[in-house]
């Protein structure tokens, strides 16, 4: 799993380990990542998700994988100031950094882990997206861009899997939470979120939805996670599907 040193990644690593999984924690923060791996009895691999060669090294040394949780992500909050219209303050470096981690990291990750899954005929890929991948986010439009890209990628990969010969049992889905109490919500953004009365969820809550997504395995789904409501599954060609299976037109 990527971004496993803290936040949603750490919480999910713990949740997986408690259920008996052999977990490979990856992160750019070696010390924090190694600490999580030691805590759960797993393995740590240093990984810059924006580096395709690093992905190949991890797959060669620690793979193949039954499950890949592509979770690493950042926002532009704390990288570029946000006065007025945030895009006006965006620097080239901030743009390239967020695109490298949030988009390239998922593309390179899926490309690296999928061949073995397809060849074996089974596997799961879960991607951390966001409600910002389904709705506008005026606070950080570039973050919204990256998460819309991730959701589109998940939908499209899933559609492609369904068209493969013999349809391998490889499920690809996305988790789309609202604001989560992690480092990605920096002080400035946290203040704005609190002023607007938007709730922050705990990483453990998101981890449980990740586990549930692996149990229910809805191909191409976006799992909508918001405080106070039952997680919902969305598929572009099926609308909203509640936990009880009741469908709602989108």
CB–CB of 177/201 below 8 Å? yes
Reported as type and span, the H/E element at residue 175 is strand 169-177
In sequence order, the 6+-apart residues with CB closer than 8 A to the CB of 83 are 89
Pairing of strands 247-248, 239-241: antiparallel
Residue 38 CB neighbour total at 10 angstroms? 12
Catalytic positions, please? Answer: 143
Distance CA 152, CA 178 (A): 18
Residue 246 CB neighbour total at 10 angstroms? 8
């Amino acid at each position: 799993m990527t971004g496993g040193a803290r936040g949603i990644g750490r919480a999910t690593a713990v949740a997986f380990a408690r259920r008996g999984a052999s977990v490979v924690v990856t992160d750019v923060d070696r010390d924090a990542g190694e600490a999580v791996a030691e805590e759960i009895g797993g393995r740590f691999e240093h990984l810059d998700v924006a580096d395709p060669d690093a992905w190949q090294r991890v797959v060669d040394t620690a793979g193949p994988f039954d499950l890949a949780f592509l979770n690493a992500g950042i926002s532009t909050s704390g990288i570029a100031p946000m006065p007025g219209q945030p895009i006006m303050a965006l620097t080239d470096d901030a743009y390239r950094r967020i695109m490298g981690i949030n988009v390239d990291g998922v593309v390179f990750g899926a490309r690296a882990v999928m061949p073995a899954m397809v060849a074996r005929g089974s596997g799961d890929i879960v991607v951390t997206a966001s409600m910002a991948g389904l709705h506008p986010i005026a606070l950080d439009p570039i973050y919204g861009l990256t998460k819309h890209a991730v959701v589109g990628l998940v939908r499209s990969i899933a559609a492609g899997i369904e068209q493969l010969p013999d349809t391998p049992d490889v499920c690809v889905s996305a988790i789309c939470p609202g604001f989560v109490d992690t480092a990605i919500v920096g002080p400035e953004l946290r203040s704005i979120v609190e002023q607007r009365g938007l709730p922050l969820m705990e990483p453990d809550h998101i981890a449980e939805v990740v586990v549930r997504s692996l149990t229910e395995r809805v191909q191409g789904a976006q799992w909508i996670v918001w405080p106070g409501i039952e997680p919902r599954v969305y598929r572009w060609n099926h609308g909203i599907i509640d936990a009880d299976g009741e469908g709602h037109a989108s």
